[in-house]
């Protein structure tokens, strides 16, 4: 099938590559000329496991192409995906300017029936706005062309985006058009072989499903962080509590890891956006407001441990930092807990020596060169001359370090762990003082 994807970001690029891999002909459009040029030269703008070979082979095979030429893209696709960003507006609500700009562009260039599929995460009612924008543009241009708008939210996880798109848990389609339903079933048939994963519903329910999913996951994290904070105050160990509740199948083990807060481009913005949408219909979303507030404080947790340990004086300290990306297996640093920590450390007069397996370039891009940030080539070299270590992201490579070397290199044998990677008793055996989240032992 002929497919066009607007927006070559985490969602658009991965979805486009996966659709091309099963044989569809996919044209990707972006306004970022640099990104398009890079992709044509085999430079993939993001790190996602398995993405580079997928993009390269499909580009070379002629099933996947990149351009800034919107007219060419609109002419090509009978199915047109909108996968552009929906960043938070000043008040936290989702900013639809990119989505509506694409809707306008599609209308300007379309000369035959198009199925416009919204993959961006958008507030309930956005499909109606897209329809209105397309109709308004067609009317202004005196064109009479039919179209459908479908909501098809994306549930991929960064760090596992390729496998999530290849083997989705579910394919949610919000549509009131039989034609669109059939075409999308055909498009996704290669990913829907094991059992029927397609869930068809009305458009508004599909739009809300995406927010409900992300808000539920964020709620699990903030709930667990709240219990971790209580565990700390009660002298309990949250890791025991986690195992104790996870064994209940109604609760389960997934997404109940305590830590130094969630980040990324989705949970913070989507929780905020649903809170604002709820306000818009006169409803106060108390649970979601608390989820956001707990997370905000949790991101300051490691810094507060550090401040408490050093009695507020860390001026001139050198801090080894392991993990910059908001979670493992990605280079994405949007809303990352590491940023909150680094900025607080700098403000207090400390220097940071950081290492991350993938996010070093992104860190450099965000913070540029500054004298109080050194990006180190390995996790071991980040310890050189450092006063203590802080772990912010749970990369696999950090799970079994050389503790003896760690102790030898740090001027004070001290580790702050925002992801609870180690056992406090073992750390004590290695002679390392250890602060973790909600474990109560060193705090």
Q: Is 203 annotated as a binding residue?
A: no
Active site residue 215: no
Q: Using CA atoms, how far apart are residues 263 and 216, in angstroms rounded to an integer?
A: 15
**Min CB(36)–ligand NAD separation in Å:** 9
Give the nearer residue to ligand NAD in terms of CB position, either 151 or 222. 151
What is the spatial order of strands in the sheet that 198-201 belongs to?
A: 64-67, 25-29, 2-6, 79-82, 114-118, 147-151, 171-174, 198-201
CB under 6 A: which stretch of 6-14, 196-204, 300-308, 415-423 binds ligand NAD? 6-14
Q: Using CA atoms, how far apart are residues 287 and 378, in angstroms rounded to an integer?
A: 41
104-133 residues in contact with ligand NAD (CB under 6 A) are 120-121
Q: What share of the chain is helix, strand, coil (3-state, %, to 5)?
A: 45, 15, 40
Give the nearer residue to ligand NAD in terms of CB position, either 214 or 353. 214
The CB-nearest residue to ligand NAD is 9
Nearest to 341 by CA among 239, 260, 232: 260
**Min CB(214)–ligand NAD separation in Å:** 8
**Min CB(352)–ligand NAD separation in Å:** 26
Binding map of ligand NAD across residues 78-107, x = CB under 6 A, - = no contact: -----xxxx-----------x--xx-----
**Min CB(8)–ligand NAD separation in Å:** 5
Of the listed 28, 165, 215, 266, which one is catalytic?
A: 266
* Dihedral sign computed on CA atoms, order 217, 218, 222, 223: negative
Query: What Rg do the C-alpha atoms of the chain give, in angstroms?
Result: 24
Q: Is 269 annotated as a binding residue?
A: yes
Q: How far apart, in Å, are the Cα atoms of 171 and each of 156, 270, 274?
A: 11, 19, 22
Give the nearer residue to ligand NAD in terms of CB position, either 266 or 333. 266
Q: Using CA atoms, how far apart are residues 162 and 167, in angstroms rounded to an integer?
A: 8
Among 80, 115, 156, 291, binds ligand NAD (CB under 6 A): 156
7-26 residues in contact with ligand NAD (CB under 6 A) are 7-12
Q: How many CB atoms lie within 10 A of CB 310?
A: 17
Q: Is 299 annotated as a binding residue?
A: no
Residue 196 in tokens: 């029927």
Q: Is 6 in the site for ligand NAD (CB under 6 A)?
A: yes
Phi and psi, residue 387, nearest 5°: -85, -40
Among 17, 19, 215, 266, binds ligand NAD (CB under 6 A): 266
> With contact defined as beta carbons under 8 Å apart, do 252 and 216 qualify?
no
Give the nearer residue to ligand NAD in terms of CB position, either 86 or 219. 86
* Dihedral sign computed on CA atoms, order 176, 181, 168, 83: negative
Which positions make up the binding site?
Answer: 30, 35, 86, 121, 155-158, 210, 255-259, 263, 269, 327, 334
Residues that bind ligand NAD (CB under 6 A): 6-12, 29-32, 35, 83-86, 98, 101-102, 120-121, 154, 156, 158, 265-266
Residues tagged active-site: 266
Residues tagged in the binding site annotation for substrate: 155-158, 210, 255-259, 263, 327
């Amino acid at each position: 099938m002929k497919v066009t994807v607007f927006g070559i970001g985490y969602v658009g690029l991965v979805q486009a590559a996966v659709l091309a891999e099963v044989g569809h002909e996919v044209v990707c459009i972006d306004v970022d000329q640099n990104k398009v040029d890079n992709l044509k030269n085999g430079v993939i703008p993001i790190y996602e496991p398995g993405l580079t070979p997928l993009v390269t082979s499909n580009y070379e095979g002629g099933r996947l192409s990149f351009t800034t030429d919107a007219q060419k893209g609109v002419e090509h696709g009978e199915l047109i995906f909108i996968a552009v960003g929906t960043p938070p507006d000043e008040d936290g609500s989702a900013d639809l300017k990119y989505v509506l700009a694409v809707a306008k562009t599609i209308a300007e260039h379309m000369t035959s029936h198009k199925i416009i599929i919204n993959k961006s995460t958008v507030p309930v009612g956005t499909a109606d706005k897209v329809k209105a924008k397309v109709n308004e543009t067609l009317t202004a241009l005196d064109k009479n062309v039919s179209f459908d708008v479908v909501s098809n939210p994306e549930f991929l996880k960064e760090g596992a985006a390729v496998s999530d798109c290849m083997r989705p848990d579910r394919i949610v389609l919000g549509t009131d058009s039989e034609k669109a339903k059939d075409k999308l079933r055909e498009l996704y048939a290669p990913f829907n072989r094991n059992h029927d994963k397609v869930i068809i519903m009305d458009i508004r329910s599909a739009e809300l499903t995406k927010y409900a999913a992300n808000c539920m996951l964020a709620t699990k994290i903030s709930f667990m962080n709240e219990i971790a904070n209580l565990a700390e105050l009660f002298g309990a160990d949250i890791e025991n509590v986690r195992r104790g509740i996870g064994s209940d199948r109604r609760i389960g083990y997934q997404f109940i890891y305590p830590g130094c807060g969630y980040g990324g481009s989705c949970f913070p913005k989507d929780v905020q956006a649903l809170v604002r949408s709820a306000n818009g219909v006169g409803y106060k979303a108390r649970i979601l407001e608390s989820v956001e507030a707990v997370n905000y404080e949790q991101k300051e947790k490691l810094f507060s441990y550090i401040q408490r340990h050093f009695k507020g004086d860390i001026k001139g300290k050198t801090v080894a930092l392991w993990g910059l990306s908001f979670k493992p297996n990605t280079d994405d640093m949007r809303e990352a807990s590491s940023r909150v920590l680094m900025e607080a450390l700098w403000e207090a007069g400390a220097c940071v020596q950081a290492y991350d397996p993938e996010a070093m370039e992104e860190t450099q891009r965000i913070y540029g060169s500054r004298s109080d940030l050194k990006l180190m080539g390995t996790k071991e070299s980040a310890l050189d001359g450092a006063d203590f270590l802080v772990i912010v992201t749970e990369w696999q490579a950090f799970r079994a370090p050389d503790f003896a070397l760690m102790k030898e290199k740090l001027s004070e044998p001290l580790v702050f762990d925002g992801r609870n990677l180690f056992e406090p008793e073992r750390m004590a055996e290695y002679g390392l003082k250890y602060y973790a989240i909600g474990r109560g032992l060193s705090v």
